[in-house]
Amino acid sequence: MAVLAESGSNPDVELLYDINGLAKDAPHWFDRAMEFVGEYGLLLAMVLLVVWCWWSVRRRGGEDVASSMAALVWAPLAAGIAVLVNIPIRGFVERPRPFVDHQGLDVLVAGKTDFSFVSDHATLTMALGVGLFVANRKFGVIGIGLALLEGFCRVFMGVHYPTDVIGGFALGTAVALLLAPLASALLTPLMRAVERSPRAGRLVRRRTAAEVPVVPGTRRTVKPADPEERDLAA
């Protein structure tokens, strides 16, 4: 298929040069930092954010913990599905990387030979961010913010057009939201089953002292009652 952006008069290409031009004016150390952040750092941050959200939901507990965990499990699943959906899209569009057709770009990551539309990094991070938003709004807002930063980094690095990133955001959001009801219907019963499991249940809910079984041959320590409580009981 023909390249989507042919000339520098295209707003997509103009914005590419404007954002990538920041890399030319930035110090070398800053470019190297952006290279790491855009290629690996933000993906790692998203993984840590998912783990943090899991810990928070597990610690909070509550009657809806199974449904919350189901939504949280859906976030990485949605990201994986969105990246898989992108494979035929890339093959159909066949858009070369920006530096193939446009000279003068400061490309921070070498060796990119695959197609450009849509951005896998933007797709994956936005699917995770939107999936997190379904599970927990506070963590979701942070995740979406990281996804937006990822999209900026990909253009800054000279490896994607702005529309590659926008397309990735749209794809990740669509997969995470459109399939969320089906995912919830399938994953919530699974999370409830895990919650009832004596061992695996710890992945879903933090065990309280009252829920910890007494091992034969041991004694459970019971906190002495407060004197005022004893008087009230009497």
pLDDT digits (tens, 9 = 90+) for 48-90: 999 999 888 877 766 678 888 888 999 999 999 999 999 999 9
CATH number at residue 54: 1.20.144
DSSP 171-230: HHHHHHHHTHHHHHHHHHHHHHHHHHSTTGGGGTSPPPGGGSPPPTT-----PPPPHHHH
CA distance 42 to 198: 36
pLDDT tens, residue by residue, 157-202: 999 999 999 999 999 999 999 999 999 999 988 888 877 777 766 7
Residue 203 lies in a domain: no
What are 217-233's pLDDT values in tens digits?
A: 555 544 454 554 444 44
Amino acid identity of residue 72, one-letter, is L
For residue 188, being part of any structural domain is answered with: yes
In this predicted structure, what is the pLDDT of residue 179?
95
pLDDT score, position 159: 92
> In this predicted structure, what is the pLDDT of residue 209?
44
Q: Please report the pLDDT score of residue 67 as a whole number.
A: 83
The total domain count for the chain is: 1
Question: What pLDDT does residue 5 have?
Answer: 41
The answer to whether the beta carbons of residues 117 and 76 sit under 8 Å apart is no
Q: Check the CA dihedral 166-172-173-178 and report its sign.
A: positive
Residue 101 in any domain: the answer is yes
Q: Looking at the predicted structure, is the pLDDT value of residue 22 above 80?
A: yes
pLDDT score recorded for residue 6 = 46
What value does the mean pLDDT take over residues 115-126? 94
Q: Cα(187)–Cα(141) distance, rounded to whole angstroms?
A: 23
Q: Which domain does 119 fall in, by range?
A: 11-197
pLDDT bin (cut points 50, 70, 90) of residue 140 is: very high
Is residue 20 included in any domain, yes or no? yes
Report if residue 221 sits inside a domain: no
Q: 108 lies in a domain?
A: yes
Assess if residue 231 is contained within a domain: no
Average pLDDT of the segment spanning 27-41:
92
pLDDT > 60? residue 156 = yes
State yes or no: pLDDT of 114 exceeds 60: yes
Residue 6 lies in a domain: no
